[in-house]
Amino acid sequence: MTNQDISSAVQRLYDTYPFPPEPLLDTPPPGYNWRWNWLAAYNFCTGRKPPKQDIRILDAGCGTGVGTEYLVHLNPEAEVTAIDLSAGALAVAKERCQRSGANRVQFHHLSLYDAGQLPGEFDLINCVGVLHHLPDPKRGIQSLAAKLAPGGLFHIFVYGELGRWEIQLMQKAIALLQGNKRGDYRDGVQIGRQIFNSLPINNRIVKREKERWSMENQRDECFADMYVHPQEIDYNVESLFELIDASGLEFVGFSNPKTWELERLLGKSPELIAQAETLSDRERYRLIELLDPESFTHYEFFLARPPFIKSDWSSDAAILAAIPERNPCMDGWPSKCLFNYDYQIVNLTESEFQFLQACDNNTEKQQTLSEILTGIDLSLEKVRSLLQQQLIILTP
């Protein structure tokens, strides 16, 4: 098939099964994804509060607008633009955002390849689950990279081949049984479900489906997106960085750094850890995914356009002169037991809780860390721990 044929096939899939199929709400969506919160994402990437919040955001390949809706509600000063190839998905996205009051968004029926038609540049580009469905992902990432403003962030999610091995097998099996009916997505879903109902319960493909995907795949839209998609490119670390290098942007880091810690796999062998230190970052990433393939169903990461400077808070003078605020991505605040930006449970001491309360009121007061600590018994070491956990955000 030509690239145009592939794009048309992808468009037909999402017109048939608009994705993702999350329900439409008359209120803002619950919770948060910190990767879509400019303040939290910028802090994760740089270690400081962004210099401005009245930014321009592009949701590239918005689908039914689940991410778009969050981008609007989580960034109250931002101007949001969303594009997608599927007119059917865009119609749902527009209704979703209208119903929940996410009214600072402009929708455009555009391919990622045609992002150059949009005016101006964007401070944050969000592209989740889209590049791997393009016939030419490198062209797609280059098209979007050209729209990223200096100092801007590009958040990307693409599939990983090692953790999706069973999915690839099922995709090929369904295609074989469909024969000349390939491209009939409803037929593909029906055949796929018949296969799962017929295979032995100890079959590897069945076991992986039940362990990892079965809850979401109860919905035909999710099943179709996973098993009968007409175009999918799955990556490994080596091919992933070929894609990243093609963008011409700087790799900032993966958004799930703990997964990329070699110590969790080889911590029992200091000799192997020491040996791995001779490897480049990319070689170390490759080693980790080879040793733990099931953990890498996808890659989620940030790129940036220089100039992009990370803050260094190792100096006592620098951190004491900084202005601290509470990270907005917390669930359960105000409480000593809460979920942090990544939905991990945190238990605060009384002094840490008092300090976060002071930081919570500091957006307007603009007190320095030194000034806040005059009334709270908390060491700089503890403050740095809160900073490392991203419970607080500093402004130099």
What Rg value do the Cα atoms of the chain yield, rounded?
23
> DSSP label at 86?
-
Domain ranges across the chain:
3-161+234-304, 162-227, 316-395
* 101-149 pLDDT tens trace: 999 999 999 999 999 999 999 999 999 999 999 999 999 999 999 999 9
Asked whether the predicted pLDDT for residue 342 surpasses 90, the reply is yes
Of all helices (H) and strands (E), which one includes residue 66?
helix 66-74
- Res. 380 pLDDT band, cuts 50 70 90: very high
Whether pTM > 0.85 for this model: the answer is: yes
* pLDDT at residue number 141: 98
CA 125 to centroid of chain Cα atoms? 11
Quote the DSSP letter at residue 156.
Answer: E
Residue 154 has a pLDDT of 98
Q: Which residues are CB-contacts of 177 (< 8 A; sequence separation ≥ 6)?
A: 191, 195
* Mean per-residue pLDDT over the chain, rounded: 97
| 146-196 pLDDT per residue, tens | 999 999 999 999 999 999 999 999 999 999 999 999 999 999 999 999 999
Does 1 score more than 90 pLDDT? Answer: no
- pLDDT at position 277 over 90: yes
The CATH superfamily assigned to 3-161+234-304 is: Vaccinia Virus protein VP39 (3.40.50.150)
Q: Is the pLDDT of residue 389 over 90?
A: yes
Residue 3: per-residue pLDDT: 87
Q: What is the mean pLDDT of residues 35-42?
A: 98
Closest CA to 67 of 155, 135, 188: 155
The b/e string for 323-360 (b: 16+ C-beta within 10 A; e otherwise) is bbbbbbbbeebeeeebbbbbeeebebeeebbbbbebbb
- The average pLDDT across 8-18 equals 96
Report the distance separating Cα 370 and Cα 385, nearest Å.
16
Tell me what pLDDT residue 30 has.
Answer: 94
For 150, the 3-state DSSP assignment is strand
Quick one: the chain helix, strand, coil %, rounded to 5?
A: 50, 15, 35
Res 363 pLDDT > 90? no
* pLDDT, mean of residues 71-76: 98
pLDDT over 70, % of the chain: 100
